[in-house]
A = this chain, B = another copy of it.
Amino acid sequence: MPDTHTPQKNHLLAALSAEVQERIFPFLELAPMPLGKVLYESGAAEHHVYFPTDSIISLLYVMENGASAETAVVGDEGMVGIALFMGGESTTSRALVQSAGFAYRLPGKRFKDEVSRHGDLLFLMLRYSQALITQMAQTAVCNRHHSIDQQLCRWLLLSLDRLSVNQLVMTQELIANMLGVRREGVTDAAGRLQKEGVIEYHRGRITVLDRAKLEQLSCECYAVVKAETDRLLPRVQPGSVQ
């Protein structure tokens, strides 16, 4: 229901000053984000930037043999397409819709123009970029040191934070692709969580029943990323960049 969408649902857009909002908002286009849609392909020039509202976008790297691993996830707290203002125009990642919903998109050229015109906008983008960097670094650490069980908890929490409901539409196969593990590994881990009463799994629908337990079972990586994101991008009064 696009009617209920407003640009302010995206935290970055909401944080912009009235002046920047006035210049940018007229060019925003509300775009549906169906599950599985590919926004960017590795190495391809990015023509738009995307500000998710209720959708979740995965940044993942696809190896030569087709296996993949998620390096970061983007929801209403962020944006997809930082390569545009970073100057690289493309990245080695694929951006994939992980949870269906909507996002506002803006032509890349206009975005770049506005970034170079407004210091505020640039500084906000930079802080967000740092939060994204933290997430990638932590993903690397997590991939090295933590069990699938812990990583599943982390991943569920990251997704949950970007949704307004406690239910995810997501098959175990897809989660496995994100985490870069086998589907069976996810089945095992999810089975254990279900037995503990933390989640309820039902054919592509996960309902989180006990978020506190989930945080407790997760590795430290979730908390580190959350704390750093909150530090770098505190929720501000809509319409100001604080």
Contacts and interface: CB of A to CB of B under 8 A. Distances in A.
A129 to B, nearest CB: 6
A67 B93 CA distance: 28
A116 B126 CA distance: 13
Interface string A169-201: 000000000011100000000000000000000
A129 B86 contact: yes
* Prevailing SS type, chain A contact patch: helix
Nearest to A83: B130
Interface residues of A, number: 44
A36 interface: no
Please state the number of chain copies in the assembly: 2
A133 B132 contact: yes
B86 A140 contact: no
A132 B85 CA distance: 15
Contact of A88 (B64, B145, B232): B232
A87 B122 CA distance: 10
Contacts of A87: 123, 126-127, 130, 232
Interface of A: 59, 61, 63-64, 67, 69, 71-72, 82-83, 85-88, 91-93, 116, 119, 123, 126-127, 129-130, 132-134, 136-141, 143-145, 179-181, 220, 224, 228, 231-232
A202 to B, nearest CB: 28
Contacts of A181: 144
A80 to B, nearest CB: 13
B220 A64 contact: yes
